[in-house]
Structure 1
């Protein structure tokens, strides 16, 4: 199984949460809530989101 993490086209901001949710096969709302909760705890979620936005590549179909 060749599973890769990509930013999703099902996005609200940058597609990071939806991409993580697709990778782990869970509801994107749960991932978004997790980032919001981490954001409320000293800004950790915000920093993680920014780093993930810069590091995680777009899905290959986005390049067309």
Structure 2
């Protein structure tokens, strides 16, 4: 069984591909992931979490 891995998306990206990669990983439309992340960003932590994810998550 091949393990599923989280990568930044090459094809489905707007900034760094984080939301596209998360959407592909959990089988959810990346637009929904982007909307949820935007709502989360208004708390202040979303922006920090996105930057950390963009640095930590490897390229596809």
Q: Same fold (TM over 0.5)?
A: yes
Q: Please list, as runs of the form range in 1=range in 2, the aligned pairs for 1:19-38 lying within 5 A after superposition.
A: 19-38=21-40
> Is 1:8 matched up with 2:9?
yes
**Count of residue pairs the alignment pairs up:** 58
Matches of 1:13 and 1:35 in 2, distance apart? 13
Give structure 1 stretches of 5+ with no counterpart. Answer: 60-64
TM-score, normalised to structure 1's length? 0.86
- For the pair shown, which has the larger CA radius of gyration, 1 or 2? 1
Matches of 2:24 and 2:33 in 1, distance apart? 10
Give structure 2 stretches of 5+ with no counterpart. Answer: none
In structure 2, what is the equivalent of residue 62 of structure 1? none
More helix as a share of residues: 1
In structure 2, what is the equivalent of residue 39 of structure 1? 41
User: Which aligned segments of 4 or more residues in structure 1 are displaced greater than 2 angstroms?
Assistant: none
